[in-house]
């Protein structure tokens, strides 16, 4: 289950010292982020934002919400990065949540929603090719953390 994967990921982060995360964001700023991006965040990403916000651990940086100034921000602000990449052709239904470091981004594909309200994580390479990586944000986060923790 996606939420149980997210819970396991959060436990792993806590076990390994908590990383460097912004801290949970309140519902008002999360809703503002959704409105600015014109999407609805899936349940696991919502919980990530309300619990950790955005940040990194052991060299892995997960993008989320920093503050309400989405235009004058930077990494790891998912809203800022997504808006900037949309200017270069990123489809509106994608929310960038991670970078592979080689120009490939990982994004939530909000055009697809399963019976639990979750959307898959896809990779978007420099040529715009999209491939499914994971069923949801919770399983993606756990899988990435298990590569280094």
Give residue-wise pLDDT tens across range 93-140: 999 999 999 999 999 999 999 999 999 999 999 998 999 999 999 999
CB 100 within 8 A of CB 113: no
At residue 1, the pLDDT reads 55
* Chain centroid offset of residue 102 CA: 18
Which domain, by its residues, includes 91? 2-146
The reported pLDDT for the residue numbered 149 is 81
Residues in the chain: 149
Contact 124, 112 (CB under 8 A): no
**pLDDT tens digit sequence for 57-104:** 999 999 999 999 998 999 999 999 999 999 999 999 999 999 999 999
What pLDDT digit, counting tens, does each position of 16-27 carry? 999 999 999 999
CATH of the domain at 95: 3.40.1580.10
More confident residue, 43 or 2: 43
Looking at residue 2, its pLDDT comes to 82
Domains held by the chain: number = 1
């Amino acid at each position: 289950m996606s939420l149980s994967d997210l819970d396991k990921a959060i436990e792993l982060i806590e076990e390994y010292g908590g990383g460097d995360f912004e801290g949970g964001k309140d519902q008002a700023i999360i809703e503002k982020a959704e409105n600015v991006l014109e999407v609805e965040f899936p349940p696991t990403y919502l919980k990530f934002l309300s619990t950790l916000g955005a940040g990194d651990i052991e060299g892995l940086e997960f993008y989320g919400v920093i503050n309400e100034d989405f235009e004058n921000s930077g990494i790891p602000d998912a809203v800022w990065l997504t808006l900037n990449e949309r200017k270069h052709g990123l489809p509106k239904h994608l929310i960038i949540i991670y970078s592979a470091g080689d120009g490939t981004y990982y994004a939530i594909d909000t055009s697809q929603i399963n019976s639990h309200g979750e959307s898959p994580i896809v990779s978007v390479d420099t040529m715009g090719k999209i491939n499914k990586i994971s069923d949801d944000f919770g399983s993606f986060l756990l899988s990435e953390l298990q590569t280094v923790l």
